[in-house]
Amino acid sequence: MLAPDVVMQEIWRQLQRVVLGAHAPPVPKDSIIAAFGEAMAWQLPMHRRTATGRDPTPLRAVRLTEWGQLVVRGVDEGPAAQETTLTAEYLF
């Protein structure tokens, strides 16, 4: 059985081949995540998308994980509030 990190590295490598082309030089994921982090409006509240619209609870982006997943917590909660890592949720 492959370790999760090995699987994620291979997925990342294959995704780059699809997006950039088979002969393009690899781009380190850290640089892509950093660029996304610089472009993101961290101060704006977000809401999770639901099947019927959006969840009324406002969320604040805290940071990106090493794989680019967004970590959030409630807007009205302090720094000690529980953080949630979003993996497949859509925000708007």
Mean pLDDT by 10 residues, the chain (92 residues): 80 79 77 85 88 88 87 81 78 48
Cβ atoms 32, 20 nearer than 8 A: no
Q: What is the CA radius of gyration of the chain?
A: 16
User: pTM (2 decimals)?
Assistant: 0.62
- What pLDDT was estimated at residue 88? 67
Estimate the share of the chain in helix, then strand, then coil, as percent rounded to the nearest 5: 30, 25, 45
Q: What pLDDT score does 76 carry?
A: 77
Is residue 33 packed enough to be buried (19+ CB in 10 Å), middle (13-18) or exposed (0-12)? Answer: middle
**pLDDT on residue 71:** 92
